[in-house]
Amino acid sequence: MHIFHIRYRNTQGTLMRILTATSRRGIDTPYVQAEPSGHEYKVTLLMEVNQKQLGQLSRDWFAIVDVLDVHPAIAVQDIADHTRPPRDAVAATPHAPTSAVLPTDTSSQPALA
């Protein structure tokens, strides 16, 4: 797995051009996070690529006018492992609604008109 940190100026369509370079090659991207980083923006991508694809992606990203910097690295651990809750944590799942139980004895209640 490779992790890519790409700094870019947030102009119209820049992030989509970055992501299109990966989807055009049919590369699965299990983790994408875009966030502001000072005056620029940063996107972090995690994907499985070979050396040829790494070179092609870097070349394509550097060709985008608003991309400032590309840092590829080999991921020591998958980012997805860090985004999952711990196995022993109790998941907050919503409970199914319960129906209200009405009293069956109506003789003690006054009649409504």
pLDDT for 96 beyond 70: no
**pLDDT level of residue 104 (50, 70, 90 thresholds):** low
- Name the average pLDDT for the chain: 81
**pLDDT level of residue 69 (50, 70, 90 thresholds):** very high
DSSP line for the chain: -EEEEEEE---TTHHHHHHHHHHTTT---SEEEEEEETTEEEEEEEE---HHHHHHHHHHHHHSTTEEEEEEEE-SS-HHHHHSPPTTSPP-PPPPPPPPPPPS--TTSPPP-
Question: For residues 106 and 84, what is the distance between their CA atoms, to the nearest angstrom?
Answer: 52
Mapped onto helix, strand or coil, the DSSP state of residue 113 is coil
Q: What kind of architecture, by CATH, is found in domain 2-80?
A: 2-Layer Sandwich (3.30)
Picking from 70, 61, 66, the residue whose alpha carbon sits closest to that of residue 24 is: 61
